[in-house]
A and B are shown apart, each in its own frame.
Chain A
Amino acid sequence: MTAIHTPLTLTPKPVAVPPLVEQLKGGLDAPICLTWELTYACNLACVHCLSSSGRRDPKELTTAEALAVVDELADLQVFYVNLGGGEPMIRKDFLDIVDHAVGRNVGVKFSTNGYYIDQQAAERFAATDLLDIQISLDGFDAATNDAVRGPGSWEAARRAMDNLAAANFGEFKISIVATRHNVAQLDDYKKMADEYGAQLRVTRLRPSGRGVDSYQDLRLTHPQQQDIFRWIIDHPDVLTGDSFFHLNALGTNTGETLPGLSMCGAGRIVCLIDPIGDVYACPFVIHDEFMAGNVRDAGGFASVWRESELFAELRQPGAAGACASCNAYDACGGGCMAAKFFTGIPLDGPDPDCVLGHADEAVAAANAAGIVPQPSQDHSRPVRIGARPS
């Protein structure tokens, strides 16, 4: 067999297909996966909830409508859905939706506070194929966690994990939103995940949903940003959902970047379907500005994905704008659209957490001028459980 490095003949080079990341920026014909919030109902009232959940919306998709969405996703060959909410297990047809998806070869992952994962549920899930579970936990200890998620929530999450382990579910995920108060606990978290044989996921807090209000209390300080950047690089087996690429400028001197595409997938490879069928660019921008359509419209989800003006816009190459002259722009891509939007920064401006400090003035100015947008959907229950961390 000839080795590949024998001199090549002078045949014309085939037209090169662009690298996948360029294809993805231009949008795919169908999402790779998507987040689907099944309900705004929730038994908890986390202070940073990205969907401002609590009360069910009366216009929630019916079971028949939900199953029809599953069929659409299956026909589009979306690889998997991440079901969330609110608390998705609150829906009485939760298992029906899961089974229908799995039966049609659409993988299911769901994000849950674990409250409803008793032993029976754990065993049921262990017996279900193509299913992945992500338990939310925002503090290694109950005090840290419950300050954000409410009293009893830590215990419920741990109980769910114990039940999944006892049922031999296999590798589930533990997901933390990194906050000022839990970022020092990452090593403990990793140890906990290892003990369960679970995968750890650490993601960025965005000022979305109720996060708009709690963001100033919970966001990472500059030193903490440096710590978490280093920690993620040192722990390549921890998932981050590529949510920290806005920190990549921290690696400019050492030539390090966080693993991942460092690109925003909203409207290009992923999107959100909300409980009433509205389609948003991503779960962190539940706002009219980023609403592409509704699955109840003629043509369903497919036509929203393929034809909406919003998504066509997002799939155009973006302008670097205010970041054009910054030599870190290639690494950070200007950061997160949602973070910018909900702090009142223009979308071609710097990320509010720009590690070079380019956004500090812009954030202060937006606050002073009172131009910080509020989410369009607020299903919070009137009484909030859980005090803000002091």
Chain B
Amino acid sequence: MEPKTEPEATAVEEETLVQEELLVEEISIDGMCGVY
């Protein structure tokens, strides 16, 4: 069983850091005005 060591604040901060480094973003082509 994995001990939960990270306080929530750090986990959120980490996730933010990871989000900024995400190298792939998907976007819906059908969610753009002017696209048929």
Contacts and interface: CB of A to CB of B under 8 A. Distances in A.
Interface of A: 4-5, 7-8, 13-14, 16, 19-21, 24, 32-33, 35, 82, 84, 109, 111, 134, 239-243, 245, 259-261, 263-266, 269-271, 282-283, 336
B18 A261 contact: no
Given A7-B10, A8-B14, A20-B25, A261 B20 contact: no
Contact of B33 (A20, A82, A245): A245
Given A84-B36, A109-B36, 17 more contacts: A4-B18, A8-B17, A13-B21, A16-B20, A32-B32, A33-B36, A35-B36, A134-B36, A241-B34, A241-B35, A241-B36, A260-B28, A260-B32, A261-B28, A263-B32, A264-B33, A269-B35
Given A5-B6, A20-B25, A32-B29, A265 B11 contact: no
Interface residues of B, number: 19
Nearest to A134: B36
B27 interface: yes
25 contacts: A8-B17, A13-B20, A16-B20, A20-B25, A20-B27, A21-B27, A82-B36, A134-B36, A241-B32, A241-B33, A241-B35, A241-B36, A259-B28, A260-B31, A260-B33, A263-B33, A264-B33, A265-B33, A265-B34, A265-B35, A266-B33, A266-B34, A270-B32, A270-B34, A271-B34
A242 B36 contact: no
A261 B21 CA distance: 21
Interface string B3-24: 0001000110010011011000
B19 to A, nearest CB: 9
B3 to A, nearest CB: 13
B33 A243 contact: yes
Contacts of A5: 6, 11, 14
